[in-house]
Amino acid sequence: MNVTLPTAEALRTALAGLLDGLPPKQAAQAVDRLIASYRGTTPTDAPVLRDRADVVAYAAYRMPATFEAVRAALDAFREAAPEWEPATHTDVGGGTGAASWAVAGAWDGPRTTVLDWAEPALALGRELAEAGGPPGLRAARWQPARIGAGLDLDPTDLVTVSYVLKELTPAARTGLVDAAAAAAQAVVVVEPGTPDGYARVIEARDRLIAAGLTVAAPCPHSAACPIEPGTDWCHFSARVSRSSLHRQVKGGTLSHEDEKFSYVVATRFPVRPVAARVTRRPQIRKGQVLLELCTRDEALRRETVTKRHGALYRAARDTDWGDAWPPPEED
C-alpha cells in the first residue's frame, strides 16, 4: 500500500507544530553552525547533533529534504521489486527519523527500529512520530547506538543509511556497510548529490556487490559504474516543499527547493532493474528531446527522441531526471 502523499503531509504538519514559536533568528544561527559541521572535510567520532536546540534546527533545515531524497530512492526500488514488502526495517543513523517517515510512506506497517548515537535526535524523532506519524512509525523503537565500525545489527528485511557516511571515518564507513549487508535483505544508501557523496555511494555499492547483493536501483546493472572517476558523478534531484519557517531558516524566498542526492539500492532477492535510467534533466528542444542514459549494457549514451517517434516522443517530453527509460508501457 502506497501512502507517500499523506505521509509527506503528516511530516510537514508534525514539523510545523514542533517549530511553532521557535525564533527564526535562533534557528538560523543553529543551522549555520550545523552547515559548517556537515560541510567540513574531517569525519567525526562524535555526534554532530548535541542537544535539543541543534536537533530542532536540524529538523527544520534537513528533515524535509532527506525525506524526499529517500522517498525518491524507495520509489525506484519499488519499481524494481513491486511485489516485495519489508516486515522489518532498521534506520541506521536515522536521527529524527526522516528516512523512517519515507519507508512508512512506501509500505504499510513495517516494524521500524531507529538507531542513532545522538539521543536528543532520537527523542525528537519519537516526539514527531507520536505527533502525527503513521501507526507503524508511532510504534517504532528509538535506540541509542554507536554508529560505525563494530555496529551489531539484528537480522532485518530493510536497512536504510541516509546522509550518514560522510560523518564517519573510512574504517567506520566500511564497517557500517558490511554490517548492513550481513543483516539485511535490502540495503538503501543515500548521500548528498556531490562528487564526494557519489564517491561514498560507489564505495558502498562495491562492498554490497562483493557481499553478494544485486543492485536494484538506480543502476540498470551490477557491473562497474561506467563513469570514469573524476570526470563526472551520478546524482538525481527531488523537489522539496518549504514551510515559512523553512524559508526563513534557509534564507530563501521560493516555496520549494531541489535536493540533489546520490543513492544505491541492493538486495539479496531477485529484482527487475530498469532497461536504462535518465541521468540528467532531459533537454527539450523544438521537435526533439535529448536524454542522457545509463543503460543495461553498462554504457552511457545520449538518445535523441523526435516527433517522428510518435508516442515515444510524447513520453520523452513527460520523462524526468531519474526516471526509467523507456517508460514501463514501452519496455
Q: Which residues pair with 156 in a beta bridge?
A: 184
Determine contact, residues 269/185, Cβ cutoff 8 Å: yes
Gap between the Cα atoms of 164 and 176, Å rounded:
10
Q: Residue 120, CB half-sphere, CA atoms under 13 Å: how many?
A: 13
pLDDT at 312: 94
Q: Which residues pair with 259 in a beta bridge?
A: 238
Q: What is the pTM of this model?
A: 0.89
First to last CA, the chain: 24
pLDDT band at residue 139 under the 50/70/90 scheme: very high
Gap between the Cα atoms of 291 and 261, Å rounded:
19
pLDDT at 43: 56
Backbone angles phi, psi at 137, to 5 degrees: -75, -35
H or E segment to which residue 90 belongs? strand 88-92
Q: Residue 109, CB half-sphere, CA atoms under 13 Å: how many?
A: 1
pLDDT at 36: 65
pLDDT at 241: 73
pLDDT band at residue 27 under the 50/70/90 scheme: low
For residue range 183-194, what is the model confidence (pLDDT) as tens digits? 999 999 999 999
pLDDT at 262: 98
Three-state secondary-structure class, residue 41: coil
H or E segment to which residue 311 belongs? helix 311-318
For residue range 158-179, what is the model confidence (pLDDT) as tens digits? 999 999 999 899 999 999 999 9
What's the mean per-residue pLDDT of the chain? Answer: 87
For residue range 120-135, what is the model confidence (pLDDT) as tens digits? 889 999 999 998 888 8
For residue range 58-86, what is the model confidence (pLDDT) as tens digits? 787 788 999 999 999 999 999 999 999 99
Gap between the Cα atoms of 108 and 92, Å rounded:
20
Could you give all domains of the chain from N- to C-terminal order, each with its CATH number? Answer: 4-267 (3.40.50.150), 276-330 (no CATH)
For residue range 260-308, what is the model confidence (pLDDT) as tens digits? 999 999 999 999 999 999 999 999 999 999 999 999 987 899 999 999 9
Kindly state the average pLDDT of the residues 136-144: 93
Cell numbers found for residue 157: 528485511
Three-state secondary-structure class, residue 187: strand
Q: What is the DSSP letter of 324?
A: B
Gap between the Cα atoms of 72 and 55, Å rounded:
24
Q: Residue 113, CB half-sphere, CA atoms under 13 Å: how many?
A: 15
Gap between the Cα atoms of 262 and 191, Å rounded:
5
pLDDT at 87: 97
Three-state secondary-structure class, residue 25: helix
**pLDDT at residue 257 is higher than 90:** no
pLDDT band at residue 46 under the 50/70/90 scheme: low
pLDDT band at residue 25 under the 50/70/90 scheme: low
**Cα 28 from chain centre:** 24
Instruction: Classify strands 256-267 and 88-92 as parallel, antiparallel or unpaired.
Output: unpaired
**pLDDT at residue 50 is higher than 90:** no
**pLDDT at residue 252 is higher than 50:** yes
Using the structure block, give the residue that is written with the C-alpha cell 530493510: 158
How many helices (H) and strands (E) would you count in the chain? 10, 12
Gap between the Cα atoms of 94 and 97, Å rounded:
5
